Structure 1
Amino acid sequence: MRPSVLRRTTARAAALVLALGLALAGCGGDDDQPFAGRVLDNPYQVPETPLTDTDGQPFSLAADTDRRLTLVFFGYVNCVDICPAVLTNLASALVRLDDADRDDVQVVMVTSDPDRDTAPLLRDYLDRFDPDFVGLTGDWTTINDVAKQLAVGLDRRDPGGHTTQVMGIDSADEAPVYWGADTTPAQYAADIHTLLED
């Protein structure tokens, strides 16, 4: 895919959101599902910084994400509420996609608790949701640096004190869209299809 295709698609999605909003305001609403993600006017640049996957291999969110769309979430294994809910919603969204869309999407979770989330523990945790999910770890400073460049706030003293958005990374190594923790599987699936449609 050409690097600018996803950006053009997100721009079309933003226009669609505006058009739908105006149409719904005029007619009192209907059952059509608007684009749920937030499209950024200035996409975040994804850092080349390598982290480490659960096989112990270097993995960069820029260099090693080879799908048209990569969904990145920062979370941790001992999270009891938001992290499992987000991962469940992402896994449920993927099964709603047709094979072509599914093959173009990758899900990555970066641990916000590298002091406790060992690679085997992280792998076992993600396998409960989808064995294709990629788990990344590393030293705290590196993870925090990557998170900051994607506007994700982390707190080493409180791993649960992280922001909960899911970032969408395109093949141009930019993050032009994100979703909140309350995004439903149906919303993710619809948005993913919209973003990949071209």
Structure 2
Amino acid sequence: MADRNSTGILAASGMALALLLTGCSGGDEGSKPLSSSDVGTPWVVPDTDLKDTSGADYRLTDGTTKPVTLVFFGYTNCPDICQMVMANIASAMTRLDDDERKQVEVVFVTTDPARDTEKVLGDYLERFDPTFIGATAKMDRILELGKAFKVAIEKGEKLPSGGYDVTHGTQVFLVDENDEIPMFWGQDTSSAVFARDISTLLKADS
């Protein structure tokens, strides 16, 4: 049995080594390296049909038009890690200047669509940043999308309270303007590191 919310749970065991990369994505010699892990050949984002918190149709391939989109898979009843990661991302956004902030999108994909309705998801993200996008769908579509990100999703055992945990990978992924996933950050990445890496990526893109 995998640990709750353990990092690096994979949809395909053959890709395990890709998510265990520890090398940083580097730039030119003398520039600060990113703290993210490079996946090698970028993964491709599929045209998975989702819904946003307003109930409108949403696809990552259509919605990720900004230079930097951060994607995280989680759920609103997550007792610890999801809240920590989202709080760090929200804090990172406040460290960016206005021009940088306009070039960044943050998408939270629920791993628990049975409980995370559009309203529940919207209320949850409002606490972190009202501009964050929440995405949901039927579970088969969530699993399809998670597979492309090499994130496995499992419903855990029933809790004494009557609820349940959802086991899922806890990486934060970069989706670029080409609808590709070139890198990810670990769950312990601080807001300062997120902000620094985002600024570096935006400068490289300009």
Return the TM-score normalized by structure 1: 0.83
Offset, 1:39: 1.9
Which residue number in structure 2 is paired with residue 26 of structure 1? none
Which residue number in structure 2 is paired with residue 102 of structure 1? 101
Q: Distance in 2 between matches of 1:108 and 1:130?
A: 11
Matched, 1:126 2:89: no
Which residue number in structure 1 is paired with residue 174 of structure 2? 168
User: Relative to structure 1, is the Cα distance of residues 139 and 161 closer, same or farther in structure 2, using a 3 angstrom cutoff?
Assistant: same
Residue correspondences, number: 174
Matched, 1:185 2:185: no
Q: Distance in 2 between matches of 1:15 and 1:185?
A: 20
Which residue number in structure 2 is paired with residue 14 of structure 1? 25
Q: Distance in 2 between matches of 1:134 and 1:173?
A: 17
* Percent identity of equivalent pairs: 44
Q: Distance in 2 between matches of 1:14 and 1:78?
A: 33
Offset, 1:156: 3.0
Q: Distance in 2 between matches of 1:54 and 1:15?
A: 36
Unaligned runs of 5+ in 2: 1-23, 158-164
Q: Distance in 2 between matches of 1:76 and 1:54?
A: 14
Residue range with higher mean Cα deviation, 132-141 or 36-45: 36-45
Partner AA of 1:190 in structure 2: R
**Contact 1:52–1:138 (CA under 8 A) maintained in structure 2:** yes
Residue range with higher mean Cα deviation, 111-120 or 58-67: 58-67
Which residue number in structure 2 is paired with residue 140 of structure 1? 139
Residue range with higher mean Cα deviation, 85-94 or 64-73: 64-73
Q: Which of 173, 192, 201 matches 1:195?
A: 201
Which residue number in structure 1 is paired with residue 73 of structure 2? 74
* 3-state SS, counterpart of residue 48 of structure 1: coil
Which residue number in structure 2 is paired with residue 10 of structure 1? none
**Contact 1:56–1:119 (CA under 8 A) maintained in structure 2:** yes
Q: How does 1:4-83 map to 2 (within 5 A)?
A: 14-16=25-27, 34-83=33-82
Partner AA of 1:188 in structure 2: F
**Contact 2:26–2:34 (CA under 8 A) maintained in structure 1:** no
Q: Distance in 1 between matches of 2:147 and 2:189?
A: 22
Which residue number in structure 2 is paired with residue 25 of structure 1? none
User: Relative to structure 1, is the Cα distance of residues 38 and 120 closer, same or farther in structure 2, using a 3 angstrom cutoff?
Assistant: same
**Contact 2:35–2:197 (CA under 8 A) maintained in structure 1:** yes
Residue range with higher mean Cα deviation, 149-158 or 108-117: 149-158
Offset, 1:33: 6.7
Return the TM-score normalized by structure 2: 0.80
Offset, 1:157: 3.8
